[in-house]
Amino acid sequence: MIAFLAKRLAVGFATLLASSVIVFFVLEVLPGDPARIMLGMNASPETLAALRLEMGLDRPIPIRYLDWIMGLAIGDFGRSYTYSSTVMDLILERLGVSLPLAVIALTLSTLIAIPVGVFAAARRGRAADTITMGAAQVGVAIPNFWFALLLIYVFAVGLRLVPAGGFPGWGETLADNWQALKALILPAVALALPQAAILARVTRSAMVDVMGEDYIRTARAKGMPHRTVLWRHALRNALIPVLTIMGLQFAFLLAGTIIIENVFYLPGLGRLIFQAIIQRDLIVVEGVLMLLVATIILINLAVDICYALIDPRLRLSR
Amino acid sequence: MSLLEIENLSLSIGDVPILKNIELSIAPGEVMGIVGESGSGKSLTALAIMKLLPEGTMARGRVTFDGIDILSAPEPSMCRLRGDDIGMVFQEPMTALNPVKTIGEQVAEGIRWHTGARRADAEKRARAMLDRVGLPESKVPLSRYPHELSGGQRQRVVIAIACALRPKLLIADEPTTALDVVLQAQILELLRDLVQENRMSLLLISHDLAVVAEMADRITIMRRGAVIETGDTTRVLTRQAHPYTRQLAEASAHVPARAAAAAPPAAEPLLEVRDVVRDYPLRRRSLLARPGKFRAVDGVSFSLRAGQSIALVGRSGCGKSTLARMILALDRPTSGTIRFMGEDIATRANDALRPARRNMQVVFQDPYGSFNPRHKAERLVAEPLHLLDEPLSKAERRTLVAETLEQVGLSAADMDKYPHEFSGGQRQRLSIARAIITKPKLIIADEPVSALDVSIRAQILDLFADLNARLNLAYLFITHDLTAARAITDTVLVMHEGRIVETGPTETVLRHPASDVARTLVAAAPNLAQALETRQRRLANAEGSFGLPFDPHTS
């Protein structure tokens, strides 16, 4: 197991290095000079040259890459061109919103999806199955911003249970943190619903496959009731595809949530990267991208470890 | 009084009738055999007793087990019955166990469920049961997972699960069909002992008349969802009163009429295998240790002349399929040479193998799995034609496919059908057509008849014999089934742990096996005539001491 982890970490590190090259060079080669965007179209060539010199943009690209990558190695992501702050601080601040949001959304979606999927699989072909899977189909199809607006209308405007948008920030006291958490509830629900719908469908089809396996018949022949067989024998075997989808969903929830962030005025990673791209704040874009690559590598590693925990056949073979 | 009484049982799925008025009874301690070809309804009869029928199945009639009316029993009382009073063993040991649970958990689970025993007690009983079925603690601890066991060991675990609570009735549905003959003999012996020890009744389902003849007190022959004949095993099988019973018995001992090994020894052998070795690397034990190796094929040499037919027999895992893969140039030997039509194929590049591949084709065990279900027969059979140097025109290709289909006993019109429109036997004909379309000199057949019903098996064996005579095809027959080997080969190679341990004319080796391996194989092979002889001898002894045997079931 330790050898397996060491090998996977080494591969992950190599992947990270390779993606850093791609991220950096692609962004630097794309047209659009950050210095010119900062100064506007009417700036004089001298001012531009001076700013380029100050930002280090006059140096050759490979040198700048080395400089950047050495910085990353010691946790220095550089300074943003547009915000008067280091990239690291920006990312950490935004992660304070995006990470809890992603975790809450994924937890919600899993808690909904797995029971629903198992329920539908157990009643395959009957009315309950058709209705739940029809509902899941609707859940996949609904645009999440529309669902978010509906949630705001009902729970924030109508019932006044939670704020309609904005994020007060995490605080010192319990009350502060409760307020912050409350601000994340609606966005998390809005994000979780379509994910839950997808995950429920995956769970159902994996369960239906597993229920046709010979060992399910063996378990039934032992005298185990249908329900017990479902949860004790089938679910664990059906979890592999479910976990794969969950890994992909977590990566998406961390940075692909710009629409929901905009609907709820949340300062998350999605908006940070969006604004940075518009403003050619390349160093921020690069920093966030590297963080996402690293996260995805770690998620995949975690998913692989979970595979091995679930299925003993995957433990020794790698 | 009978333990199990099936009266007038009919099953249907939708409007399609599956079982028709089945009558069957089993007395306590009795072994009842059900014999029938695939689709005869024997498995569904078993599932009806367990009330584990597929969804949408309608059952009528009466199934009484130990005074309980099964068909009208509510699910919770069926759950109490299954695994406690009725145990079941299935055909496919490789998939019958849950891959993510240890065998200890899986054996103990039923014990805990039915007796309410604590985990530790249940595991103790599970341990004892596994010891009893031949899986001692030292070799197979409870913490093993199914994938760490061999097929035979897994089937023992399944038997342990089924017998853990000493059921009154054990149902075994083709329990040995997926195993090689030696394992089959061991598993059957285990079942027989367990049944006797615990005075269980056994319902043994098999397509193999010989297996049932060895095991069963009484036999029921089924065909197309109906009972054809039932009665005392010896009586049914010696009298063969019903034509279908006779047909089954003849088919299972069928030997095609074939001309004796004709071709005089040619100067140049068609295939020559010299000192072939194949090693597979094992997993490293640590980063620094050198990986060990597993020798699958160990110094094998033999040669095959044009038109000659050789059987390669051995138990599963003996290396026969690895050897076949190397002869087919799908895998390369670690050392040694393989010469086909005078050319060394072991070292050739893939492109240079085209002439060899054209002259050497393969027939696999599972006819269905070896066809792409979305292609029509024409395309499937024409597949090897890409090996020709000159591509054929569309019309030429159709003519050739039509000719080939007729050669294997299909018709030219079958060309436009899809694989699922053929029966199992026809599909095997289709794969033989695919193999002979390039007019090869050698056919390698990997267990070509072991997935087929006896009557179809006999027809396919005839076809092989016929093609051998007409096209002067040479065969390398890979099998663990000695009757099939006897039917169509002149020479037999017995393989064990990667080595050829015995070679000789097929009849001689099978009649007077010299090596232990060959002796074990021959002794384990089920044999209808022998089984009946033993039975009659036993019966004669019994008559001597008790007078005429009283058999309440034969009418």
pLDDT tens per residue across span B515-528: 999 999 888 888 88
Distance from C-alpha of B11 to C-alpha of A265, rounded to nearest angstrom: 64
Give the contacts of A45 (CB within 8 A, at least 6 positions apart).
none
CATH topology of domain A88-312: MetI-like fold (1.10.3720)
pLDDT at B88: 93
Q: Cβ distance B403 to B436 under 8 Å?
A: no
Distance from C-alpha of B474 to C-alpha of B443, rounded to nearest angstrom: 6
The nearest alpha carbon in chain A to B108 belongs to A222
| Cross-chain Cβ contact A222/B109 below 8 Å | yes
Residues of chain B with Cβ-Cβ distance to A314 below 8 Å are none
Distance from C-alpha of B21 to C-alpha of B35, rounded to nearest angstrom: 17
Distance from C-alpha of B265 to C-alpha of B204, rounded to nearest angstrom: 48
Q: Could you read off the pLDDT of B136-149 as tens digits, one per residue?
A: 988 889 999 998 88
- Whether the CB of A212 is below 8 Å from some CB of chain B: the reply is no
**For A90-104, B198-212, B272-286, B372-386, which range has the lowest pLDDT when averaged over its residues?**
B272-286
Q: Report the residue from B113, B145, B158 with minimal CB separation from A312.
A: B145
The nearest alpha carbon in chain A to B163 belongs to A222
For residue B151, which of B182, B183, B185, B190 has the smallest C-alpha distance?
Answer: B183
- Residue A246 pLDDT class (50, 70, 90 cuts): very high
- Whether the CB of B189 is below 8 Å from some CB of chain A: the reply is no
Looking at chain B, the whole-number percentage of residues with pLDDT higher than 70 is: 94
Q: Cβ distance B338 to B276 under 8 Å?
A: yes
Decide if pLDDT at B547 tops 50.
no
Report the SS3 class of residue B461.
Answer: helix
Residues of chain B with Cβ-Cβ distance to A224 below 8 Å are 79, 83, 109-110, 113
pLDDT at B537: 82
pLDDT at B260: 57
- Whether the CB of A231 is below 8 Å from some CB of chain B: the reply is no
Q: What is the mean pLDDT of residues B30-37?
A: 92
Report the SS3 class of residue B297.
Answer: strand
- Whether the CB of B168 is below 8 Å from some CB of chain A: the reply is no
Q: Which amino acid makes up residue B387? A: L
Q: Could you read off the pLDDT of B51-102 as tens digits, one per residue?
A: 998 888 889 999 999 989 999 999 999 999 999 999 999 888 888 999 999 9
CA dihedral of residues B439, B442, B443, B446 (deg, nearest 10): -160
Decide if pLDDT at A3 tops 80.
no
B window 378-417, beta carbon within 8 A of A? none
Give B76 to chain A, closest Cα distance, Å.
7
- Average pLDDT of the residues of chain B: 87
| The domain made up of B4-252 is a member of CATH 3.40.50.12780 | no
Best of B100, B112, B114, B145 to disrupt the A interface (most A CBs within 10 Å) is B100
Residue with tokens 């895998």: B331
Residues of chain A with Cβ-Cβ distance to B96 below 8 Å are 214-215, 217-218
Longest Cα–Cα distance of chain B, Å, equals 77
Looking at chain A, the whole-number percentage of residues with pLDDT higher than 90 is: 27
Residues of chain B with Cβ-Cβ distance to A228 below 8 Å are 113
Q: Could you read off the pLDDT of A157-178 as tens digits, one per residue?
A: 888 887 877 787 777 788 888 8
Cβ-based neighbour number of residue A314 at 10 Å: 16
Q: Could you read off the pLDDT of B298-330 as tens digits, one per residue?
A: 999 999 988 889 999 988 888 888 999 999 988
Decide if pLDDT at B151 tops 90.
no
Q: Which pTM was predicted?
A: 0.83
What residue ranges of chain B are covered by domains with CATH 3.40.50.300?
Answer: 4-252
Looking at chain B, the whole-number percentage of residues with pLDDT higher than 90 is: 43
- Whether the CB of A313 is below 8 Å from some CB of chain B: the reply is yes
Q: What is the mean pLDDT of residues B474-499?
A: 88
Write the DSSP symbol of residue A83. Answer: S
Residue with tokens 């950050």: A34
B window 30-89, beta carbon within 8 A of A? 50, 52, 55, 75-76, 79-84, 87-88
Q: Report the residue from A214, A220, A233 with minimal CB separation from B82.
A: A220
How are beta strands B442-446 and B474-479 bridged, if at all? parallel
What residue ranges of chain A are covered by domains with CATH 1.10.3720.10?
Answer: 88-312
| Cross-chain Cβ contact B75/A215 below 8 Å | no
Percent helix, percent strand, percent coil in chain B, to nearest 5? 40, 25, 35
Decide if pLDDT at B479 tops 80.
yes
| Cross-chain Cβ contact A224/B79 below 8 Å | yes
Phi, psi of A33 (to 5 degrees): -95, 120
Decide if pLDDT at A30 tops 80.
no
Q: What is the mean pLDDT of residues A140-168?
A: 84
Distance from C-alpha of B394 to C-alpha of B59, rounded to nearest angstrom: 52
For residue B155, which of B133, B124, B122 has the smallest C-alpha distance?
Answer: B133
Cβ-based neighbour number of residue B500 at 10 Å: 21
Best of A208, A209, A222 to disrupt the B interface (most B CBs within 10 Å) is A222
Residues of chain B with Cβ-Cβ distance to A219 below 8 Å are 98, 109
Cβ-based neighbour number of residue B218 at 10 Å: 23
